[in-house]
Amino acid sequence: MTAQETLQVRVVKKQAEAEGIASYELARLDGAALPPFSAGSHIDVHLPGGLTRQYSLCNASHESHRYRIAVLRDPASRGGSVAMHDSVHEGDVITISTPRNHFALHPAQRTLLLAGGIGVTPLLCMADRLARTGADFALHYCTRSAERTAFAAEIAASAIAPHAHFHFDAGAPEQKLDTAAVLAAPGPDKRLYVCGPAGFIDHVVTTAKALGWAQDHIHLEYFGAPAQDTSGDQGFEVRIASTGKVYPIAPDVSVVEALRKEGIDILTSCEQGVCGTCLTRVLEGEVDHRDMYLTDEEKAANEQFMPCCSRARSKLLVLDL
Ligand code: FES
């Protein structure tokens, strides 16, 4: 991650949105306007106890008086969601980053938004934006049950309603998401956005690709990407093959970030090992793969890696740059 500007905000409202899900409205201490954001953006939240977690903004992107996030309490997670639920209360002051967007909307004739559970948060913001601009879109929102469906009433009462489809795992078969039917007609003017747990995303992306969707028309953001234990990370060196120059990579700095500081820019998008944008060929050295983009076979081949998140097992990596 690159260094982010931070700001202090107050939790002006904390509200239960569904079983296990709370939303938090954050505002500046002096009531001034917050930095602007676009649909699909997220913020880092610095939690009590030193944890930092990313949460998508799920309010309308034209609003400047608040940021709203929603958090599913997941005791099986790495502790961020439990800390948010148990230790962050209305009236508290917390530190957040300014918003950044790795999941931006692209112009399209038709846009499909597929949400799994709490993965609805960035898509809700997108749906609001699309509804306000009169765009052709559909929001398919899959959850376990109505009780676990955050923002259902809000969606039903909004301009998103005519475009929204709810699908409950616990519901009748005919209301379940027919992924193949929804994705049946790909085209150059269509875009697909998916957010949710890894299994949901994998199912949607696999189906989309099998139906002929182009990779660059599928946009995804994993919710709850598997945690990496970074506590034992070591420094290593990277050599740029074209110049022969060697750069140190500190234990807590990504290859992308370290090289960027040296004026060597690698194109990135998600910076979390999901999108594939930063794919770089490796000529020597052993990679410690941390991404969710390459297949197990590609990782084992050790010929390419994702410098936004992956590291080295060897002391040196030689990159084809
Ligand atoms: S920038 Fe997305 S995988 Fe590296």
Q: Is the entire prediction scored with pTM above 0.85?
A: no
Cα of 172 to ligand 1 centre, how many Å? 38
**Helix (H, G, I), strand (E, B), or coil: what is residue 292?**
coil
The residues lining ligand 1, judged by C-beta closer than 6 Å to any ligand atom, are: 268-271, 273-278, 291, 293, 306, 308
266 CA distance to ligand 1 middle (Å) = 10
Percent helix, percent strand, percent coil in the chain, to nearest 5: 20, 30, 45
Q: CB-based burial of residue 29 (10 Å sphere; 0-12 exposed, 13-18 middle, 19+ buried)?
A: exposed
Name the nearest CA neighbour of 60 among 83, 87, 39: 39
Concatenate the DSSP letters of all residues of 191-210 into one string: EEEEEE-HHHHHHHHHHHHH
Which domains does the chain possess?
Answer: 6-97 (2.40.30.10), 110-222 (3.40.50.80), 236-319 (3.10.20.30)
R_g of the chain, CA atoms, integer Å: 20
Q: What is the pLDDT along the chain (321 residues), one digit of tens a residue?
A: 444 588 999 999 999 999 999 999 999 999 999 999 999 999 989 887 777 788 999 999 999 999 999 999 987 666 788 889 999 999 999 999 999 888 899 999 999 999 999 999 999 999 999 999 999 999 999 999 999 999 999 999 999 999 999 999 999 999 999 999 999 999 999 999 999 988 898 899 999 999 999 988 998 887 655 556 677 889 999 999 999 999 999 998 999 999 999 999 998 766 778 767 899 999 999 999 998 778 778 899 999 999 999 999 999 999 999
Is the dihedral angle over the CA atoms 15, 103, 221, 87 positive or is it negative?
A: negative
- CA nearest ligand 1 atom 3, residue: 273
